[in-house]
Amino acid sequence: MKTIIHKADTRGHANHGWLNSYHTFSFAGYHNEERHNFGLLRVLNDDTVASGMGFGKHPHDNMEIVSIPLSGDLHHEDSTGRDKIIKQGDVQIMSAGSGIAHSEKNANHDKEVKFLQIWVFPKQRNIDPRYDQKTFAPEDRHNQLLTVVAPDDEKAVWINQDAWFTLGNLGKGFETSYQLHKKESGVYAFVIKGDVTINGIALNERDGLGITETETLNITADNDTELLLIEVPMKM
């Protein structure tokens, strides 16, 4: 087993007033030669957007872009004419493919919105742009791991990659395990809330842990914990 730990306070940080963003990997003005990606996981941004503010329309291509609201509501618009509100409990994916322009704004005028934006390199390039969004009930991930993004699970949002995103809300002392779908993949664990031990490594809120060369993650919640696991290929 090989591991890499990214403690919360080592992430890149940019505060633009309307946007307070923490970058696990190199992004925009944050450049770290040792932190460009984890396998095909390219971006993991932890964003807080002020009320009524947001990202104006901008282009992407050939990237799988996942948004997971943690609190508040996001307003998504894109060049295909799609106009959606993404709420806490929703997971949204946009396959940028051959090219798409989109905007994401705080849909609330009385509170911040907090969300994770995650980019994964695609399996097939230049596909037609595609959008998917689903709502997942909190009770479906209480003391269990719930797949929310997958290439092969109709209950999850579809991704153009051999990648699986899993969420769990685990009570203090709860123990579980995660079996990798492919032995050559790696898993990046991100602690949204709480404290957790994974394969003997203790992690705290907003810490990240990349794990490769293992088939199983053994997980113990040291406190009430909200956990995101991202399984990705390590090579194109």
Per-residue model confidence as pLDDT tens digits over 19-76: 999 999 999 999 999 999 999 999 999 999 999 999 999 999 999 999 999 999 999 9
Per-residue model confidence as pLDDT tens digits over 122-146: 999 999 999 999 999 999 999 999 9
Q: Which residues contact 28 (CB under 8 A, 6 or more apart)?
A: 14
The C-alpha atoms of residue 203 and residue 70 are separated, in whole angstroms, by: 19
Q: Is 63 helix (H, G, I), strand (E, B) or coil?
A: coil
Position of tokens 């940080």? 13
Half-sphere exposure of 123 (CA within 13 A, CB side): 10
Q: Give the dihedral sign, CA 193/199/201/202.
A: positive
Closest CA to 4 of 28, 38, 44, 49: 38
Structural domains in the chain, sorted by start: 12-135 (2.60.120.10), 138-233 (2.60.120.10)
How large is the average pLDDT for residues 75-87? Answer: 92
Position of tokens 């959606």? 84
